[in-house]
């Protein structure tokens, strides 16, 4: 048992820190610190800086552009990225469809898509959820019918994050209506510019447009855009959902948000003194920090086990713990941040581009309440926390 980082790992951490300090655009860092949304250009700019360095897709196999880092270095990289803070690589390409393509796709698909994911030439979005298929994802109804060299796709996807920027969408579609529901699903890559695709915004309670509905009407998709085998899509989807283990807990991001809470609580006054001096407030903050420290160690246990035994790629019940606790902590911090701003969190800042209205003071308060409202999502998406508990009950506890 060795419970500390090795000197080599510490040196690696310093190297990563130094790279971020020199290369993350100041404006991007400032936006992230203040909880503002990044726009597409911010993401593309940063991804290309990372890609030039060879760090855009660290966890991919080296032949597709990965760095060859062991799981501990992967972890340190993401932790430092989130702490700086710098944007995490867009997950839909880098963590979701990319690994599916290099694991199950054909050579043609690998050549065509993987370099463009790494450079963010293609912005991907995820077409899994449907109005009638949320936690029960396998009941999805979007239909793909083979017609010569094409599939004709009809249906509706929803909660599609940042589809408004997307060039491509990876979709779970039903290709066999007779089979058991998990066995009639295929994994299709669809160009968002194909006729018949319509994206409609969903405005969430924070006032933001992060998610969308995507309507597919007689969309013609070339057969060559099928990944792997027809009707095996559910296996690929499970692989995709279980593949992300190093980033799910977002420990680095929570550390950065806690530092932000501390910084603002030193500015905001309560009872004639800075809020950070209020014992009740300090205890709430410390309580979250303790949870986060425990989660960090839980995460490191998973990473160290991966390093030793290799990532099996199967969904690991440990990732369910990381998801449950990680989401609770992230949500707890957004609530605390809103409490820091107190009544100044009340004004609703409409996000109108080109507006000349001055911000309502203090301007850093603007994202506090929306951040809280928005982060209710983290215990819902990616398999709600109740679904995660079902997974643990079945896979770990044998109930």
| Least distance CB 310 / another protein (angstroms) | 14
Candidates 169-177, 291-299, 334-342, 343-351; binding stretch for another protein (CB under 8 A): 291-299
Residues 239-268 interacting with another protein (rule: CB under 8 A): 255, 258-259, 262
Beta-carbon neighbour count of residue 168 at 10 Å? Answer: 23
- The catalytic residue among 9, 183, 244, 386 is 244
The CA distances from residue 300 to 7, 209, 291, 305, 378, in Å, are: 17, 34, 14, 8, 21
Contact status, residue 188 vs residue 220, Cβ threshold 8 Å: no
Coil, helix or strand for 56? coil
Does 7 bind another protein (CB under 8 A)? Our answer is no
Residues 53-82 interacting with another protein (rule: CB under 8 A): 72
| Least distance CB 321 / another protein (angstroms) | 6
| Least distance CB 23 / another protein (angstroms) | 25
| Least distance CB 2 / another protein (angstroms) | 4
Please say which residue, 90 or 329, places its beta carbon nearer to another protein.
329
Please say which residue, 71 or 366, places its beta carbon nearer to another protein.
71
Largest CA distance in the chain: 75
Q: What does the alpha-carbon distance between residue 352 and residue 355 come to, in Å, rounded to a whole number?
A: 6
> For residues 229-257, b (16+ Cβ closer than 10 Å) or e, as one string?
ebbbbbbbbbbbebbbbbbbbbbbbbbbb
- Residue 105 per-residue DSSP state: S
| Least distance CB 295 / another protein (angstroms) | 7
Task: State the Rg of the chain over Cα.
Answer: 22
Please say which residue, 51 or 379, places its beta carbon nearer to another protein.
379
| Least distance CB 80 / another protein (angstroms) | 15
Does 390 bind another protein (CB under 8 A)? Our answer is yes
Does 287 bind another protein (CB under 8 A)? Our answer is yes
Give the interface size with another protein as a residue count (CB under 8 A).
Answer: 46
Identify the residue among 18, 269, 294, 346 touching another protein (CB under 8 A): 294
Does 180 bind another protein (CB under 8 A)? Our answer is no
Please say which residue, 5 or 381, places its beta carbon nearer to another protein.
5
Please say which residue, 179 or 393, places its beta carbon nearer to another protein.
393
Q: How many CA atoms lie within 13 A of 237 on its CB side?
A: 25
Query: Is 108 assigned a catalytic role?
Result: no
| Vertex 107 angle, CA 101 and 110, to 5° | 40
Q: What does the alpha-carbon distance between residue 262 and residue 254 come to, in Å, rounded to a whole number?
A: 12
Contact status, residue 161 vs residue 127, Cβ threshold 8 Å: no
Q: What does the alpha-carbon distance between residue 117 and residue 139 come to, in Å, rounded to a whole number?
A: 29
Catalytic annotation, residues: 244
Q: Which residues bind another protein (CB under 8 A)?
A: 1-6, 9, 72, 255, 258-259, 262, 279, 282-283, 285-287, 289-298, 300-301, 303-305, 308, 321, 324-325, 386, 389-390, 392-393, 396-399
């Amino acid at each position: 048992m060795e419970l500390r980082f090795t000197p080599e790992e510490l040196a690696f951490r310093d190297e990563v820190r130094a790279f971020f300090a020199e290369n993350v655009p100041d404006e991007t860092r400032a936006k992230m610190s203040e909880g503002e949304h990044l726009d597409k250009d911010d993401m593309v700019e940063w991804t290309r800086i990372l890609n030039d360095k060879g760090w855009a897709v660290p966890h991919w196999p080296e032949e597709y552009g990965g760095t060859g880092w062991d799981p501990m270095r992967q972890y340190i990289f993401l932790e430092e990225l989130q702490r700086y803070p710098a944007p995490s690589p867009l997950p839909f390409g880098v963590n979701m469809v990319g690994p599916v393509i290099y694991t199950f796709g054909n050579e043609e698909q690998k050549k065509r898509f993987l370099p463009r994911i790494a450079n963010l030439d293609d912005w991907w979005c995820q077409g899994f959820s449907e109005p009638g298929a949320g936690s029960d994802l396998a009941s999805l109804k979007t239909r793909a019918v083979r017609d010569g060299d094409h599939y004709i796709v009809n249906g509706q996807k929803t909660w599609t994050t940042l589809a408004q920027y997307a060039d491509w969408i990876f979709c779970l579609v039903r290709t066999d209506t007779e089979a058991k529901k998990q066995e009639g699903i295929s994994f299709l890559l669809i160009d968002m510019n194909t006729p018949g695709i319509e994206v409609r915004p969903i405005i969430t309670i924070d006032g933001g447009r992060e998610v969308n509905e995507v309507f597919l009407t007689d969309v013609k998709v070339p057969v060559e855009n099928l990944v792997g085998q027809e009707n095996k899509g559910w296996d690929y989807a499970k692989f995709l959902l279980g593949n992300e283990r190093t980033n799910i807990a977002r420990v680095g991001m929570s550390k950065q948000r806690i530092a932000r809470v501390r910084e603002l609580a030193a500015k905001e006054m309560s009872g004639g003194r800075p809020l950070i001096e209020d014992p009740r407030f300090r205890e709430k903050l410390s309580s979250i920090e303790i949870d986060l420290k425990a989660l960090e160690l839980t995460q490191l246990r998973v990473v160290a086990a991966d390093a030793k035994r290799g990532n099996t790629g199967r969904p690991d019940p440990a990732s369910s713990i990381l998801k449950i606790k990680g989401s609770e902590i992230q949500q707890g911090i957004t609530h605390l941040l809103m409490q820091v701003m107190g009544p100044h969190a009340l004004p609703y800042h409409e996000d109108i581009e080109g507006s000349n209205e001055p911000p309502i003071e203090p301007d850093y308060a603007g994202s506090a309440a929306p951040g809280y409202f928005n982060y209710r999502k983290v215990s819902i998406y990616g398999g709600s926390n109740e679904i995660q508990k079902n997974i643990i009950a079945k896979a770990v506890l044998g109930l």
